[in-house]
A = this chain, B = another copy of it.
């Protein structure tokens, strides 16, 4: 089946990110297609490339990136939710006159229309909230 994941909270603040990552890995292991993970609300913090958690805790940002690379899962970050929370890629940083970026591939900034599209196109959308 074709699945989409919607993740609405930051890593290290609630368990949502852990649950979503574990669920997505198990989906892929079971042979399902994951057509996208959409990060919205505080979920955009999963794309924070500067996150430096203690070494004895799971590194969720790196884990999402690894999952995306290994399984070609798009990681779509709502651009409006990201900008106000300080998450910018190179292009948005330049546009807003900021030096440096806090989001890098495979995370991509995109519009909310992608969420609606994913949700209506896929067979299943599973939301993980705070």
Contact = CB atoms under 8 A, between A and B. Distances in A.
Interface string A10-50: 11110000000000000000000000000001100100111
Interface in A43-72: 45, 48-54, 57, 61
A101 B98 contact: no
Interface of A: 10-13, 41-42, 45, 48-54, 57, 61, 83-88, 92-93, 96, 98-102
A51 to B, nearest CB: 4
Given A13-B41, A54-B84, 5 more contacts: A10-B42, A45-B86, A50-B100, A99-B100, A102-B102
> Could you say how many copies of this chain the assembly holds?
2
Contacts of A83: 51-53
Contact of A50 (B11, B52, B57, B93): B93
A13 B43 CA distance: 11
A111 B96 CA distance: 32
10 contacts: A13-B41, A45-B85, A48-B86, A49-B86, A50-B93, A50-B102, A52-B83, A52-B88, A52-B92, A53-B84
